Chain A
Amino acid sequence: MRATRVMHVRHSIHLLLVLCTAAGASAVLAQTAGSEPARVAAHAPALPVDKDMGAWLKRMQEAPRRRAYAGTYVVSSSAGALSSARIWHVCDGSQQMERIEALTGAPRSTFRRNDEVLTFRADEKTVVAEKREAPGLFPNRQIVGDKVIAEFYTLQAAGSERVAGHDADVVQLVPRDALRYGYRVWSEKKTGLVVKLQTIDGAGRVLEQSAFSELQLNAPVKMDQLARMMAGTSGYRVEKAEVVTTTAGAEGWSIRNAVPGFLPTTCLKRQISPGQAGPGMLQWVFSDGLASVSLFVEGFDPQRHRREGISALGATQSLTKHLADRSEGDWWLTVVGEVPAQTLQAFAQGLERRK
């Protein structure tokens, strides 16, 4: 597959050259041809990074901890969706605060203070309150461990580039098997801050990309001002999703053939929509330290649960499956993750009822 792709691009370059001649070469065309190899750089052998992967991840993890910055952040997927937001981030060493003002889609402001997240919806006059599972950075890295990450990804240096006016080192996390995607990460040279991130599939396609289009480091962001805005919930209805921590064993579920590299990180019973009636849905989360997969299990409802299959949105894949169960009634499984479809299938096949 990979080889085919490389061949393919070479072929394209060849075509470009042929056409430059055919159509009359111009500087622009030559430039286009010249930029082609950059697209496949992900698969050209790169120099190994001397630095220990753990140290490199740690540096990126700690970057936002000491910085204040403001910027415009853009997320795009291969499906063509383009979202952007204005970001303010401030940190005083012990507390991190962030304000994210969406510039696309429904108007909303998200505030985060460490693990506490409030999303304001001005049009609906509601605030959704959530808790992040792990307040620290790289939550799954800490649970899964750098050793596991290094076992399933290799780290390669890929030169340096400018992003949003800042010089950044480019590194690639290349998966060692086909059960996960690769990443290309741009981290700002002085601070280590991630300024651009791409998720790349096995064929070298960019599935999703997020980046600062504009970034001001050491911006004058005031924490007390953000705190005041975050506290301004009067006139809003506050919705809190009920989340109860549990274990898969206690809920009667297990994984028969563990998917290599993915370890269970958390298991919850939760209401998916605030105010929703009935028992909570089970969410069992796995991670390989970089990518994560959620297994959602709920009682089967033939009215709502009709379509089994796999769908994709950028880097996010979803799988739905009907699980027949004679003793307790059927189940409906939804697996969501930023992993290839086959990984979701492996999870779906491995899930087992133990009660």
Chain B
Amino acid sequence: MMTEERLMLREQISALADGQLEGERFAAVVGKVGGDEEARDSWQMYHLIGDVLRSGEAGACMHDRAFLARLRTRIEAETVAPRMSVPALDAPERIAENGPSALGKSQESNDFRHAANDGAYRWKMLAGLATVVAAAALGWSGLGGHARETQLAQGTVSSPATVASASGSGVAVMLRDPHLDALMAAHRQFGGPSALQNSSGFLRNATFDMPLSRGSGQ
């Protein structure tokens, strides 16, 4: 069993790997990584995951069965509990009421969340995706992201309209709104993220997962 302290250390190493720690906290974690075999393993693991995601060229790792086996074991052992309950499709009200308080509960991880929101990526959060992406052999370079969204979206990989606020105002709203889903779909009809190439835009829009039940908004 993994102790609370171990988990904490991994969080810190993940933040360190993203260059988010400074001053005393930086020194403390560097000290731990330098003097602890297991911490050093974690440090390497986060970088390997990052490497696979970023470059798509970490061939050495991808061919290394032992590495993959270790990675899988680690991912299984390390499923991060969602910071916030994932809203059910039919309960937007509940979320509307509970949203702010539920967010409040995630304050314990505030340091990391805040740091990650600054732009760097917490590979740990994507660890579950790492094997998927590696298997797809898709070249990834510099995926950025909001850790908060990543956290929120963890249980909802196939629910694109699980919406997390990323506005600068700091107001975090979480809603699963079928009406908004429908409007986003209507908007996508006109080119989507970029009319850069209609075909590409069209592929993107058709590939984007639709809400599981279209009729629920009425």
For the complex, give the distance between the alpha carbons of A281 and B60 in Å. Answer: 54
For the complex, give the distance between the alpha carbons of A93 and B193 in Å. Answer: 27
Question: How many whole Å from A207's CB to the nearest CB in chain B?
Answer: 7
Is the C-beta of B71 less than 8 angstroms from some C-beta in chain A?
A: no
B139-167 contacts to A (CB < 8 Å): 139-146, 149-150, 152-154, 156-167
**Binding-face segment, B1-9, B83-91, B102-110, B207-215:** B207-215
Kindly list chain A residues whose C-beta atoms are within 8 Å of the C-beta of B212: 105-106
Is the C-beta of A306 less than 8 angstroms from some C-beta in chain B?
A: yes
For the complex, give the distance between the alpha carbons of A15 and B217 in Å. Answer: 49
For the complex, give the distance between the alpha carbons of A29 and B139 in Å. Answer: 19
Kindly list chain A residues whose C-beta atoms are within 8 Å of the C-beta of B58: 31
Is the C-beta of A139 less than 8 angstroms from some C-beta in chain B?
A: yes
Is A141 in contact with B195, judged by CB distance below 8 angstroms?
A: yes
If the complex has contacts A23-B43, A84-B207, A289-B195, are A78 and B186 also in contact, measured as CB distance less than 8 A? no
Is A205 in contact with B196, judged by CB distance below 8 angstroms?
A: no
Kindly list chain B residues whose C-beta atoms are within 8 Å of the C-beta of A194: 196-197, 199-200
Is the C-beta of A75 less than 8 angstroms from some C-beta in chain B?
A: yes
Kindly list chain B residues whose C-beta atoms are within 8 Å of the C-beta of A40: 142
If the complex has contacts A73-B203, A100-B206, are A338 and B198 also in contact, measured as CB distance less than 8 A? no
**Binding-face segment, A225-233, A254-262, A268-276:** A268-276
A275-305, CB under 8 A of B: which get 1 and which 0?
0100000010101011110101000000010
Is the C-beta of B113 less than 8 angstroms from some C-beta in chain A?
A: no
Kindly list chain B residues whose C-beta atoms are within 8 Å of the C-beta of A213: 136-138
Is the C-beta of A12 less than 8 angstroms from some C-beta in chain B?
A: yes
For the complex, give the distance between the alpha carbons of A217 and B182 in Å. Answer: 34
Is A39 in contact with B164, judged by CB distance below 8 angstroms?
A: no
Is the C-beta of A11 less than 8 angstroms from some C-beta in chain B?
A: yes
B103-138 contacts to A (CB < 8 Å): 118-120, 125-126, 129, 132-133, 136-138
If the complex has contacts A138-B198, A312-B166, are A12 and B120 also in contact, measured as CB distance less than 8 A? yes
Nearest CB in chain A to that of B33: its residue:
A23
Question: How many whole Å from A307's CB to the nearest CB in chain B?
Answer: 6
Q: A96, A98, A311 — which one has the most chain B CB atoms within 10 A of its CB?
A: A311
Is A318 in contact with B214, judged by CB distance below 8 angstroms?
A: no
Is the C-beta of A82 less than 8 angstroms from some C-beta in chain B?
A: yes
Is A81 in contact with B157, judged by CB distance below 8 angstroms?
A: yes
Is the C-beta of B183 less than 8 angstroms from some C-beta in chain A?
A: yes
> Which residue of A63, A105, A133, A310 is within 8 Å of B158 (Cβ)?
A105
For the complex, give the distance between the alpha carbons of A98 and B204 in Å. Answer: 13
Is the C-beta of A199 less than 8 angstroms from some C-beta in chain B?
A: yes
If the complex has contacts A81-B153, A341-B168, are A108 and B197 also in contact, measured as CB distance less than 8 A? no
A75-102, CB under 8 A of B: which get 1 and which 0?
1111111111101010000001010101
> Which residue of B16, B50, B193, B200 is within 8 Å of A291 (Cβ)?
B193
Is the C-beta of B180 less than 8 angstroms from some C-beta in chain A?
A: yes
Is A28 in contact with B195, judged by CB distance below 8 angstroms?
A: no
If the complex has contacts A11-B19, A22-B34, A205-B145, are A110 and B206 also in contact, measured as CB distance less than 8 A? yes
Is B51 in contact with A31, judged by CB distance below 8 angstroms?
A: yes
Is the C-beta of A315 less than 8 angstroms from some C-beta in chain B?
A: yes
For the complex, give the distance between the alpha carbons of A285 and B207 in Å. Answer: 22
Question: How many whole Å from B175's CB to the nearest CB in chain A?
Answer: 6
Nearest CB in chain A to that of B182: its residue:
A272
Question: How many whole Å from B217's CB to the nearest CB in chain A?
Answer: 6
If A292-B192, A311-B163, A318-B184 are given as contacts, then 5 extra A-B residue pairs at C-beta distance below 8 Å, sorted by A number, are A8-B120, A35-B55, A79-B149, A80-B126, A336-B183
User: 4 smallest A-B Cβ distances: which pairs?
Assistant: A205-B144, A12-B19, A105-B209, A39-B142
